[in-house]
Amino acid sequence: LTGVWVRSSETEDLRVDGRGCEDYRCVEVETDVVSNTSGSARVKLGHTDILVGVKAEMGTPKLEKPNEGYLEFFVDCSASATPEFEGRGGDDLGTEIANTLYRIFNNKSSVDLKTLCISPREHCWVLYVDVLLLECGGNLFDAISIAVKAALFNTRIPRVRVLEDEEGSKDIELSDDPYDCIRLSVENVPCIVTLCKIGCRHVVDATLQEEACSLASLLVSVTSKGVVTCMRKVGKGSLDPESIFEMMETGKRVGKVLHASLQSVLHKEESLGPKRQKVGFLG
């Protein structure tokens, strides 16, 4: 663990970059960065850079859920993010991330999908969530979940009316007013907190260097109220039950703080309206 862990006689809660075990790096969040989407966000977490766009399109409800819309996830691992993604190198990781997103959104409490229904069994809104990995600097899952939540918060879906004539045929009329739209409640959308086991301790927001020293990690999906919606172990190493319990408790504690900070930033940014300054290469 040379160069990753700093031990002193006073405390072991110290990492090579000066952070404690439960500290995140500085997170930069910017919404409404892509003009041709219904909602978008860019998140920078250390050297990890994520761009998410949400596109709302009309579709047909699924047979098993006729009164709901649904979300589709697609993850693109840019070849410029890391040399490992050249060719089809990032396909497996992209599929793994997309499957993880499906898992954390596969419950009724995350997003109220009934608000996406236009006409039961006939028409609904489908939200296509596209995730682009621009740069990989460790802790991908956490950064992506933050970016997805921010993009969904920024998403505006046109309000529609279903008009039925005397013969029973239905027409869909979209509102011409750009401000007449539906906003999703993201209060219960979970964020992922990844805890990497290094030696006898576990850390959040691991850098690439720290990830290389960890044989096992626990991905914990946590809501703003500290409720764990799902868990997943990654890595070849093993975790004993006591460690898993401790990591879960840390994940819940850290997750609540992460949600509170994110919500504060999102509401503050939105309150600035069109006056807010655009930053980054998309500004």
Contact (CB, 8 A) for 175 and 160: yes
Contact (CB, 8 A) for 77 and 90: yes
What is the CB-side half-sphere exposure of residue 2 using CA atoms within 13 A? 0
252-258: average pLDDT: 96
The lowest-confidence range among 125-129, 167-171, 178-182, 225-229 is 167-171
Contact (CB, 8 A) for 196 and 211: yes
177, pLDDT greater than 50: yes
Domain assignment present for 231: yes
Q: How confident is the model at residue 279 (pLDDT cuts 50, 70, 90)?
A: low
C-alpha distances out from residue 245 to 130, 142, 248, 252, 272, Å: 33, 20, 5, 11, 41
Burial state string for 182-209 with b = 16 or more CB within 10 A and e = fewer than 16: eebebebbbbbbbbbbbeeebbbbbbee
157: domain range? Answer: 1-275
Domain assignment present for 282: no
Task: Look up the pTM and report it.
Answer: 0.89
Domain assignment present for 149: yes
pLDDT of 282 reads: 54
47-71: average pLDDT: 94
Domain assignment present for 146: yes
pLDDT of 107 reads: 80
Number of domains in the chain: 1
273, pLDDT greater than 90: no
Domain assignment present for 280: no
Q: What CATH number has the domain bearing residue 264?
A: 3.30.230.70
Domain assignment present for 283: no
Query: What six digits make up the tokens of 72?
Result: 């589709």
Q: Over the stretch 93-121, which tens digit does the pLDDT of each residue have?
A: 889 999 999 999 988 889 999 999 998 99
8, pLDDT greater than 90: no
Q: How confident is the model at residue 35 (pLDDT cuts 50, 70, 90)?
A: confident
Domain assignment present for 59: yes
Domain assignment present for 281: no
259-283: average pLDDT: 78
